[in-house]
Structures are given as structure tokens and as C-alpha cells.
Amino acid sequence: MRGIAVLLVLWYHIWEISWLPAPASWLQWIPETGFIGVHLFFFLSGFVITYPFVRAALAGEPRPSWRHFAWRRFIKIVPSYVLSIAIAYAIGYAATARFGAAPWQEVLAHLLFIHTWWQSTYGSINGVLWTLAIEVEFYLIFPILWWCFSGRPLLTAVVMTAVALAWRIAAQKCCFDVQMPLLVENLPGYLDIFACGMLSAWTFARYGHRLRGSRISLGMPLVATAGVAALCMLLIGMYNGRYSPQWEVALQILTRPLYGISFGAIAIGSLAAPRAWQVLLANPPLRFFAIISYNLYLYHQMIAREMVDHHIPPYLGDPHFDPIWQLRYTIVAFAATIVQAAIVTYLVERPLLRLPEPRLVTVARGHST
């Protein structure tokens, strides 16, 4: 699912630049709503972060330590993130995404993961980095969320959803013509998506072994298929309203929880389904895209826009009306970003993930541990 999410985002951003139509006109809603892949990333974060905690609680075992949790999140997110920022400045890309803040303000806000709080830094340096602020802020409040969720999972998910809905409705009422997208695209506006991931993890941890060990598993592909159908209907409905003001955000004010529910149906239905169904998602190509997804996400828009600025592939005038250029550009952009993401993932990210967790050193009465 992570591989699908990053491919949706990749297709969306490259389509924004190339305007290359989908292979069939009735599929055009897919690239134009591909930003939904970000919502899927948030759902998956809620799921995979919560799952080991729920599993330990149900087994009566100690939960994962918060120190280990913090280390794994840090070593996965921060080094690659900082490297991408350094590269954006080194090649001059960051200078093309400046909205009023000074460079030092941009860098400081990004390093503190609060750049989504102000319009002047929201899309600065590299526009896709706004999601990292939401992710890290979710990690920071997760210990509190888990304390609530471990005792009352359903109630906690309902409260998170209510907070998200109230936040988005308030943002729409007060700031539709000015800062509504800025407000909605901050952590409170996505708490319901994270909640769906957390609740799906709890559901699967508690009931998954029963489902997989019974004949019910034969019907779980229908649950996953229903999730896919519901998601497609939501996206097509949003696509049909694309001529409305600020449609990408405005049309999700009330429906965003439905996306999370659809993701949950796809995830649980697939996890509990027979292996024959699971290969549709758990196959080598999608596993590969899942592995490189973080670096593919960090760099894809930067590379795609730099290609246009440097006339790669070559073009004259406005290339958006040249179908040959559109196709060539799309193919080269996909290939270049995938190769780059694989290089950074296997030469930087994966070696860092193998580093041992730092041990606390204490000295007492002449002994060290």
C-alpha cells in the first residue's frame, strides 16, 4: 500500500507539470486526485506505529520503549530529510520556492518541523516537505495518544475524528478565501486519518488471527474490494467537483474520515485474505516502491521541475501542447526519480537504519554501564 501511495503522488505531481492525459479519458481522475496518496501515507503511519504497541498489550508483554520508538523515527526521517534540504539549496531549487521568509527562517522552521504554521514557510524549500511536519508532530504526540488509546481505543478514535472535523469546519468558516488550505493541511486536520490507521491496527491485532484461521478469510477480499470501490467513488466525486474553488481541500472538509475508513477496509481485508489475494499488494515491484518510497517522495518534485527548467527532454515554446514531449518527459521523469530514490535509499537511508540504537551511559561509584 505504501508503494501505491507514492506512485499516486508521483503521477499527480508529474501530471501537474506535463499535463499528459491518462491512457483513457475515464481514468483521468486518477492522476488529478493522486494527492490522496499523502492521506494513505498518514493512515499507514497510524497503523504501523500503533500495531506493535497493540500487539504487545494484547499479549501481556511490555510495550516498545519510547527511547527505541524515538530513535527509529529519528534515524528513518531526519538524516534523509536534512540531506534533501541541503541538496535543494545546493542546486538552487530552494530559491524558486520562496514566499517571503528569509533562508534562515525557512531552514529553522523546517528543522523544527513547524514550517506548515506560516504561509511564508509552508511550501518553501521543497513543496512536498509539508507532510513531514505533520508526520513528526504526530510522532511527538503519539505517547499521549497511546495513553488514551490503550484504554479506550474506540473513544480515542472518535475524539480524534471529532477534533479533525471541528478544525476543518472552523477553518472553512473563518478563512475560506485566505488561509483555509493552510489551516486544513496541518496536523489537527488529519487526526481522523491517523485515527483510522490506529483503529485498523487495533482491529487487526485483536481479530486478525481469528479471521485468517477461519473460512471468513475467503470473504475478506470482498472487504478489500469494497474499500477500493468506496475509495474510487470518493475520488471520482471529488474529481467531478474540480472546478469548485479550492476543490482539493474544500471537498474533503466533511468526507476525509471516509477516506480513512476505505483505507482501513483495504488494509484489514487484504491482511486477513488468502495469499492469492495478498500477492496483488505484496509483490516484488510494490515492495520495491515501498522501500524507496520516502526518498522517492522527498526528491520527485524537485527532479521533475529541474528537468523542465533545464529543457530535459528538449522542447521549444510551450511543451504542454506537444504530446510527444509530454510522453517523453513523463517516462524520463519517472525513471530519473526512481533511480535517484533507489540510490539514496540503498546508499544512505538503509545503512543508517542498520546503525545500533545509542545506549545511555551512566557512571556511578566508579562503574559504567
pLDDT tens digits, 274-331: 999 999 999 999 999 999 999 999 999 999 999 999 999 999 999 999 999 999 999 9
**pLDDT number for residue 238:** 97
Where do the structural domains in the chain lie, given as residue ranges?
A: 1-34+285-353, 65-278
Contact 222, 70 (CB under 8 A): no
The grid coordinates of residue 234 equal 470518493
**pLDDT number for residue 365:** 52
CA dist 366 → 79, 328, 361, 369 (Å): 36, 68, 13, 10
**pLDDT number for residue 361:** 58
3-class secondary-structure state, position 367: strand
CA distance 15 to 27: 13
Q: Cell 490522496 appears where?
A: 36
The grid coordinates of residue 4 equal 501505491
**pLDDT number for residue 368:** 47
Burial 143-167 (b: 16+ CB within 10 A, else e): eebbeebbeebeebbebbbeebbeb
**pLDDT number for residue 176:** 93
Instruction: Please provide the average confidence, as pLDDT, over all residues in the chain.
Output: 95
The distance of Cα 209 from the centroid of its chain, to the nearest Å, equals 28
Local structure of residue 360 (DSSP, 8 states) = P
Local structure of residue 358 (DSSP, 8 states) = P
Q: What angle do CA 275, 288, 264 make, to 5 degrees?
A: 55
**pLDDT number for residue 369:** 47
Q: Cell 479471521 appears where?
A: 211
3-class secondary-structure state, position 251: coil
Contact 205, 55 (CB under 8 A): yes
Question: What does the chain come to in residues?
Answer: 369
**pLDDT number for residue 318:** 94
For the chain, which residues score pLDDT lower than 70? 360-369
